[in-house]
Amino acid sequence: MAYQKVLNMLKLHFKAKMLLLVITVFSLQLFAQQNSVIENIVKDEFANSQLERLATELSDGIGPRLVGSPQMKAAHDWTIETYKAWGIQAENQQWGQWRGWQRGISHIDMISPWIKSMNGTQLAWSPQSPKGGVTAEVIILPLATDSIQFKQLLPQVKGKLVMISMPQPTGRPDDNWEKYARKDAFEKMKADRTAQNEAWAKRISSTGYNSRTLAVALENAGAAGIISSYWSRAYGANKIFGANTKKVPVVDISLEDYGLLYRLVEAGQKPKLRIIAESKELGLQPTFNTIATIKGSEKPDEYVVLSAHLDSWDGGTGATDNTTGTIIMMEVMRLLKKWYPNPKRTIIAGHWGSEEQGLNGSRAYVQDNPEIIKNIQAVFNQDGGTGRTNFINGAGFVQGYDFLGCWLSAIPQDIRSDIGTDFPGTPAGGGSDNASFVAAGVPAFYLGTTNWDYGTVTWHTNLDTYDKIVFDDLRRSTIVTAILAYMASEDPEKASREKRIPAVNSRGEQIGWPQPRDATRKGGID
* Binding site residues, Zn ion, CB under 5 A: 321-322, 383
Q: Are 358 and 524 in contact (CB under 8 A)?
A: no
User: Between residues 124 and 139, which has the closer beta carbon with respect to Zn ion?
Assistant: 124
Q: How far is the CB of 459 from Zn ion (least distance, A)?
A: 8
Compare residues 171 and 455 and give the one whose CB is closer to Zn ion. Answer: 455
DSSP, residue by residue, 243-261? ---SSS-EEEE-HHHHHHH
If phi > 0 it is left, if psi is from -120 to 50 it is alpha, else beta; for residue 231 that is: beta
Specify the residue, 336 or 364, whose C-beta has the smaller distance to Zn ion.
Answer: 364
Supply the minimum distance, in Å, between the C-beta of residue 326 and Zn ion. Answer: 10
Please state whether the peptide bond connecting residue 167 to the residue before it is cis, i.e. omega within 30 degrees of 0: no
Q: Which is nearer to Zn ion, 50 or 322 (CB)?
A: 322
Torsion of CA 398, 349, 382, 54, to 10 degrees: 160
Of 142 and 361, the one with the shorter C-beta distance to Zn ion is 361
Smaller CB distance to Zn ion: residue 322 or 478?
322
Between strands 376-381 and 250-253, the pairing is unpaired
Tell me if 449 sits within 8 A of 477, measured CB to CB. yes
Nearest distance, CB of residue 461 and Zn ion, angstroms? 12
Give just the sign of the alpha carbon dihedral 146, 148, 154, 156: negative
| Cα 284 from Cα 517, distance rounded (Å) | 23
> Least distance from C-beta 322 to Zn ion, angstroms?
4
Between 168 and 461, CB nearer to Zn ion: 461
Shortest distance, CB of residue 464 to Zn ion, whole angstroms? 10
Q: Least Å distance between CB 404 and Zn ion?
A: 22
Q: Which amino acid is at 50?
A: Q
What percentage of the chain's residues is helix, strand, coil (to nearest 5)?
Answer: 40, 25, 35
Q: How far is the CB of 147 from Zn ion (least distance, A)?
A: 36
Kindly give the pairing relationship between strand 389-393 and strand 444-449: antiparallel
